[in-house]
A and B are shown apart, each in its own frame.
Chain A
Amino acid sequence: KQQQQQQTQTHKKQKKNKKKTQQEEEDGAAQQTEQKPQRSEPAAASFPPTFSVSEIKNKQRRHLMFMKLKQEKRKQKMQLRKKRKKEREALGDKAPPKEVPKTIENQRVYDETTVDPDDEEVAFDEGTDEFSAYFNGLTNPKVLITTSDRPRGRTVKFCEQLATVIPNAHVYYRRGLALKRIIPQCVARDFTYLMVINEDRKVPNGLVLCHLPEGPTAHFKVSSVRLRKEMKRRGKDPTEHSPEVILNNFSTRLGHSIGRLLAALFPQNPHFVGRQVATFHNQRDFIFFRFHRYIFKNEKKVGIQELGPRFTLKLRSLQKGTFDSKFGEYEWVLKRHEMDSCRRKFQL
């Protein structure tokens, strides 16, 4: 027992001196003698002790050991990088090309519904689907924005700001009316879009976007809503000019249809004079919406200034007809297990 105590004391002292590798071995040895060997020990001389930082019971000591371990690793990594950099410089032109790091976007599982730009079938479909009228310039978008019952201040402000962003948008207070009754009235008054912002606990959290004359209905989850006054370094309020639309990264068939759905919210001919641009950027199935004002400083540089609200959408379901939760025909529904099974697989 005294021996053990001495060993622990030496252990402590040496820890304070911070000789780490020695310590590890000491610890390994100490641990071997102190604790009953519960882990299998291979032949002692050839392998390093199977000692991990997590086996130390004392939290402070364990923490210190862990930090030291991290520092060592970092040092080794830096040395490796310096070595590689020197090698690369030494080789000059003959150096092997820089390796591209693996990102989730690089490793994305190939989706067979990815759209080819020259795909005829897709082009034909898009020529005859519900948005063809819009894209051929026959209809002008007219949007009705409303909320769920009894909206609170944040949602109301959000609706108002959306109405400034989307030209030809009208906000109406929902007085407990059923959506199925609103829709025929909207159709009668020539609305092309119905947007319902759902609210939960005073915060908007859902968006139902319904293309009116028999169009598809998309249900999104809304998150990270930033109203105009919460944005840093923002510009003045947006003007009445129609903004341009940027749709990024909508690559699959589903993504394409969602992209068209979102694009048809805005009028076909943007006013370039207004220099406003609305962006829907899809990244890993999250659609980020931003509204900017841009200015070209020269032909290689553009400055953008964010106006307008920003929010993130995640598609939950796409339905073929107008809003009908019970009998509607769902084209696509978010199934959680599908999403979570593979991290590299995305739908949009």
Chain B
Amino acid sequence: MQHDEVIWDIIGNKQFCSFKVKTKSQNFCRNEYNITGLCNRSSCPLANSQYATIREEKGQCFLYMKVIERAAFPARMWEKVKLSKNYEKALEQIDENLIYWPRFIRHKCKQRFTKITQYLIRMRKLVLKRQRKLVPLSRKVEQREKRKEEKALIAAQLDNAIEKELLERLKQGTYGDIYNFPIHAFDKALQQQDEDSESESEEEDEEEDEDVGKREFVAEEEVDESDLSDFEDMNKLRTSSDEEEEEEESSEEEEEMETKGSRSKGKSPANGAMVRKKRAYVEIEYEQDTEPASKSRSTS
């Protein structure tokens, strides 16, 4: 004899049921034949001798039914009916098999069936979309690489490398005429200023010979002079440096210093004035070409 009430009385609340999962707010039932998944009097497959469920196997849905007549034969207890793949037809099948069954079970079966079909559809769609591939990272390898990166960063000395490269480009003249830093011209100008030797005058003669015929457009109102007050050497230096520049940069495009200065007015007077000031005060002490280089190295 099946005593559903007794069974429920025991396993429902009083004693242990191995399928029951208790949480703070709800009780769940882990029995595979449970239709709703909750632990209730009406959903417990052990405590109801007339019961039905929908279960899914490899994309196929089946209706399982249990009746009290077969309660004595556990091997044959559940009757399995394959449902059609068509949603409406399957619903009709459920209705037809569960005719005269309690409303609750019929309703829940249909609900469960609907949910199952929907998640099967979603699974099929996801397979077609792009799958995110998870690649396992080995922690050792990652740590090793991180350390290697840190050491490489230190070895790289990025700032120095970048500065060196930029200065190289300046020397090679990739910047053209934007910056009016004639290379070595200042040093040569210093030589002319400090030592009044014949070789210098000869150089100047040679330069003048070369410069004959070259047109030089000089703007009168150049700002640079106003920055430096009454420093006659400045004029001398500037004009001599101009000549030097023409001679040296003849390989590059020949443009005039003053117009260049005016074009990059925003930048170079700041630089040029600063440089010239510095030179005025400091570089007079030095007499060799290499000294300013060392000076800049020590300060940088």
Interface contact A292-B162, CB-CB below 8 Å: yes
Bound together, the chains give a CA A103 to CA B157 distance in angstroms of 14
Indicate if B218 sits at the interface (CB-CB under 8 A): no
Residues of A within 8 A of B171 (CB): 299
Bound together, the chains give a CA A294 to CA B171 distance in angstroms of 15
Contact of B292 among A273, A300, A314 (CB under 8 A): A300
Interface contact B175-A300, CB-CB below 8 Å: no
Residues of A within 8 A of B156 (CB): 281, 283, 288
Contact A286 B158, CB 8 Å, known A178-B130, A300-B293, A302-B163: no
Contact of A284 among B155, B176, B179 (CB under 8 A): B155
Contact of B145 among A294, A297, A314 (CB under 8 A): A314
Interface contact A300-B167, CB-CB below 8 Å: yes
A-B residue pairs in contact (CB < 8 Å), sample of 25: A103-B155, A104-B155, A105-B155, A178-B130, A223-B146, A272-B178, A277-B166, A279-B162, A286-B149, A286-B153, A288-B152, A290-B158, A292-B162, A296-B271, A297-B275, A299-B171, A299-B182, A300-B167, A300-B292, A300-B293, A300-B296, A302-B170, A304-B163, A304-B166, A340-B144
Interface contact A224-B170, CB-CB below 8 Å: no
Closest to A279 in B: B162
Contact A296 B170, CB 8 Å, known A283-B156, A286-B149: yes
Chain A 219-271 residues near chain B, CB threshold 8 A: 223-224, 244, 246, 248
Interface contact B158-A281, CB-CB below 8 Å: yes
Residues of A within 8 A of B182 (CB): 299
Residues of B within 8 A of A286 (CB): 148-149, 152-153
Interface contact A301-B162, CB-CB below 8 Å: no
Chain B interface residue count, CB cutoff 8 Å, equals: 43
Indicate if A322 sits at the interface (CB-CB under 8 A): no
Q: Using A297-B274, A298-B296 as known contacts, list a sample of 7 further A-B pairs with CB atoms less than 8 Å apart, ordered by residue number in A.
A: A244-B169, A283-B156, A284-B155, A295-B267, A296-B170, A299-B171, A301-B296
Interface contact A283-B275, CB-CB below 8 Å: no
Indicate if A336 sits at the interface (CB-CB under 8 A): yes
Q: How many A-B residue pairs have CB under 8 A?
A: 97
Indicate if A312 sits at the interface (CB-CB under 8 A): yes
Residues of B within 8 A of A288 (CB): 152-153, 156, 158
Residues of B within 8 A of A336 (CB): 141
Q: Which 5 A-B pairs have the closest CB atoms?
A: A299-B181, A283-B156, A284-B152, A300-B296, A283-B152
Indicate if B10 sits at the interface (CB-CB under 8 A): no
Contact of A281 among B151, B161, B166, B275 (CB under 8 A): B161
Contact A296 B179, CB 8 Å, known A224-B149, A281-B156, A301-B300: yes
Contact A283 B153, CB 8 Å, known A296-B170, A296-B181, A299-B170: yes
Bound together, the chains give a CA A284 to CA B170 distance in angstroms of 28
Binding site for A on B (CB under 8 A): 129-130, 132, 141, 144-146, 148-149, 151-153, 155-156, 158-159, 161-163, 165-167, 169-171, 175-176, 178-179, 181-183, 267, 271, 274-275, 278, 292-293, 296-297, 299-300
Interface contact A248-B161, CB-CB below 8 Å: yes
B14 CB → nearest A CB, Å:
48
Interface contact A246-B162, CB-CB below 8 Å: yes
Closest to A290 in B: B158
Interface contact B141-A290, CB-CB below 8 Å: no
Chain B interface helix/strand/loop/mixed = helix
B153 CB → nearest A CB, Å:
7
B150 CB → nearest A CB, Å:
9
Query: Interface extent on A, as a size class?
Result: 35 or more
Residues of A within 8 A of B169 (CB): 244
A282 CB → nearest B CB, Å:
9
Binary contact track A204-229/B, C-beta < 8 Å → 1, others 0: 00000000000000000001100000
Closest to A223 in B: B149
Q: Among the interface residues B151, B152, B163, B175, which one has the most CB atoms of the partner chain A within 10 A?
A: B152
Closest to B163 in A: A302
Residues of B within 8 A of A314 (CB): 145, 149
Interface contact A272-B148, CB-CB below 8 Å: no
Bound together, the chains give a CA A246 to CA B158 distance in angstroms of 11
Interface contact B148-A279, CB-CB below 8 Å: no
Contact A279 B158, CB 8 Å, known A178-B130, A286-B148: yes
A173 CB → nearest B CB, Å:
16
Residues of A within 8 A of B175 (CB): 272
Interface contact A284-B148, CB-CB below 8 Å: yes
Chain A 168-183 residues near chain B, CB threshold 8 A: 176, 178
Q: Among the interface residues B129, B130, B163, B166, which one has the most CB atoms of the partner chain A within 10 A?
A: B166
Residues of B within 8 A of A224 (CB): 149
Contact of A298 among B166, B267, B271 (CB under 8 A): B271
Residues of A within 8 A of B149 (CB): 223-224, 286, 312, 314
A304 CB → nearest B CB, Å:
6
Residues of B within 8 A of A296 (CB): 166, 170, 179, 181, 271
Residues of A within 8 A of B178 (CB): 272-273
Bound together, the chains give a CA A295 to CA B275 distance in angstroms of 13
Residues of A within 8 A of B293 (CB): 300
Interface contact B152-A304, CB-CB below 8 Å: no
B145 CB → nearest A CB, Å:
7
Contact of B167 among A149, A223, A302 (CB under 8 A): A302
Closest to A289 in B: B158
Contact A304 B162, CB 8 Å, known A223-B149, A272-B178, A299-B181: yes
Closest to A285 in B: B152
Closest to A270 in B: B174
